[in-house]
Each structure stands twice: as structure tokens, then as C-alpha cells.
Structure 1
Amino acid sequence: MPVDFLVLSAALLAGLTGGAHCALMCGGIAASLNGHGKESALPHALALNLGRIGSYTLAGLLAGTLGAAFVGLVRIPDLALWLRSVMGLLLMLIALRMLFPRRFAFANALASPLWRLVSKAKATLPASGLWRSLGLGAIWGWLPCGLSTSVLLAAWMEASPLHSSLMMAAFGLGTLPLMTAMSYSGARLQGLLDNRRLRAGMALLVLLAGALTAAAPWLMRVPEMHGALAALGCRSLA
């Protein structure tokens, strides 16, 4: 199965757009986990966030394995393609979540007690240096978050260990710039990704990518669109 660059682009954009959401939800945690001086703060911030992305990727691998097993057991013709269409609908919901974050504020409150546990986990890791930051980031990546859980569910619908892990890695890389800056500076940045119009524009791109992903199996039958969608990794129903 070819790599679906349309889905990977949507996941990357979801991470970029969701970076502002992550900053509001766990920026304080990111800053507190990286209690190092200015000279070593940036390497530790990178290690912290790479550990988090590593956990996202592993979660995607597990989700894709379970999805592939499910498709293999059920044996419904074209089930994988139907799941990918449902995944497109889920990407559209993720985009709406980014456009209207206040309507999903309840999802952030559910994880608050677990964030406090991550802060306490600093004392349980005896190693100092970059390995400690990498380990803390790996723990951080497994904690529930409304946005990452939604993307993980979409990754499960890829029903492929490789593609699901790539999707979660793309999402994690999208969050990397802002969350690394948060971990490094300890400040809630009001930078480019905090611009409402830009965030809305990227969310609309995710919405468009989700719509194309959902409709791709049928749009592939249109001769004018077949070549472009095939190049993006989409497939048609049999």
C-alpha cells in the first residue's frame, strides 16, 4: 500500500495547528519538566519532545497493528478503504475541534490529574542528563489528550502498522516547534501559531484533507482526479 501523503499532511497540519492548543493545555508542564540552565535547556527541550514523539509513534504502531488485525479477522470486502473514509470524517472533526476549541474544553480538564503525576515522575528517574529528559518525554507521550487521542483513533483506521506510526510521527513533528520552544523558554509564546487567522487557515486545510480522504475511494473513479489522488497514495473501491 503506498504512503498516503494526503493523510500525513493532514496529521502534520493538525500538529502545527494544535501546537497552540498544546501550549495552553500543557505548556506549564513542558516548562516544569525541563528545569535546566540556559546553556543546556535547548538540548533537554529537544530530548523531552523527541521522547514524546517517540511514544506517539509507538502508539501509532500498536494502533495500526490492532487495526490490521481487525481488518484481517472481519474479512469484509474493502473494509480497509471504508475505514479510511471514516478516518477522513474524523480528520474533519479534528479540524472542527481546532476551529472551535472552547466547545471541547472539557477534554482538557479530564487529563489534569494525570499531568500532576508526570510532574512527580521527575523524582522517580534516577538518571540525569538527556536520557532523563528523553524518558520523561516518553512518559508524557502516553498521557491522554483530546487532540492526540483523536489523531490516534484516526491512525487506527489506517489499519497499517507502518502508515499508522507514520501518521502519529507526522502529528508529533507538527507539535515539535512550539512545544520545544515552550519547554526551552518556559513562557507561553504568542508567536506565529497563535495567530487566529493562520490557525483557522491550517484547520481549514485539515478539513479539506479530511474531506478528500473520506471521498477519495469514489473520487478515484473520476478520470480527471485519479492521477492526482493516486500520487497522494489514495486508492479506489474495487
Structure 2
Amino acid sequence: MMSRDDRLRVEDADGVRRLVLDRPEARNALDGALAAALAEAIAAAGADPSVRVVVLAGAGAGFSAGADLKETARISDPAAAAAHAHRMRLLLDAPGEIDKPVIAQVHGFALGAGCALALACDVVVCTADARLGFPEMRHAVVPALVVPGIVQRAGPLLAFDLLANGRIFTATEAAIPGLVVLPAGTDAASDVARRAAELAAHPPELLAAVKRMVRTSDRSDQASAMDAAEQVNVENRLRRARTTRQDGE
């Protein structure tokens, strides 16, 4: 399969589809087009009977630095803000919308929406030196779209600590409450390959059943939370645009 965005590599081998963000010059930042292409590619992998397991990874120095701030800085009208929020929501929802296991292979850094994307996957394998976090608050941005997923994954107390102060934390710290797993050795790629092969060996219908049971316990609450998060994201973008215009006057 070919991606409709050349900044997203698609690699197939032995029932495992690797989707690799390939925008290293921008730290694999997610602009609207790349976010849409990745969401589409995850959905396509879910519909492809030859694919048993999906792996998300990043080229270059890290997984993803999150949303493309240069793009978001240009958003100034409600329609554009709403469209951008919805594209990001679709991406963050995508790993949970398919029946197949999705593994995030994280090295270097996973920040903001990049961290949320990794934590939206079924398994998150991080190198021990990887840095994760949600620095949006340091830039006066409410990390609205990532909140529902992080609360679901980490619980409200830990989620507040992770989101409210913008602190960057290590993969080793994230492994303590079970947000991520560390590779058996120092090589995350080999560990992910092993896990993917083990999962791919199971009957797809059994994997789908397990994933559905794990994911559906509070999906209705998650959907409502994401509806509210989209609206907050739009309001936040427009507020920042107004502030930027006023500062320039």
C-alpha cells in the first residue's frame, strides 16, 4: 500500500504493517495533511485482511513532536480551527477504531499530540531514554484533545499531573504506572518486532475480541469527552489567534 502523503512510509512484512512518520526535519510534527494521511492509513490497515498487527514509528531523532505549531499559528477563523481539531481527533481516535493491535514504537521524544497518539495505541514500547510529555501549558495552550485519552489511560489524578504542569517525563517514569513498557534490551525496534510477530501468530478474530473487550468498557464516555475536547480546542485556537493579532497591533 502507498500513502497519499510521501512523509508517511508504509512497510509490510509477515502480516505486520509499519506506518513510519518520515518528516525528520520537522521532528515528525503532525500538520493537518499528515494527520489525515496517518488516520487514513491506520483505517486502511484495519480493513486489510493481510494485516494482523500495525506498528507506528517515527524516522530520525524521535517519534513525533506533536502538532505542527507553524500551521496552528496560522489558524484564525472558526471553520479552519474546527477542521483542524476534527482532523486531530480522527487521528487520536484511529488506533482504537480498528480491531487489530496497534503498537507504538517510541524513541527520542513523543510530545503533545505525538505523545497522545502513542498512548492511544494498544501497546507503547519506549526506549529507556525517550522523553514524553505535554508541554502545551507552557505555551498557554490547553491540551484539550489529548485530555480524554490520557484520563482513560492514566486515570484522573495522574492525568492532571501530566497535563497541568507541562512537565517532560522519562519513559522509565512512565513505565512505573504502566503507561508504557520498556524493551527487554536496549533496542526498541527488535522488541517491537518480537511483540508484533507474537501477536500476528494469534487468530485475528481472537485478537479482535480481546481488543474490543478492553476498549469498549467506557467508550461512550470517551466519545462524549472527545466531543467536548474538540470544542475547547477550537476555542483555544481562536483565542490565541486574537491574542496574536492584538499583540501585533
* TM-score, normalised with respect to structure 1: 0.31
More strand by share: 2
* Greater Rg over alpha carbons, structure: 1
**Higher RCO, Cα 8 Å, sep 6+:** 1
* TM-score, normalised with respect to structure 2: 0.30
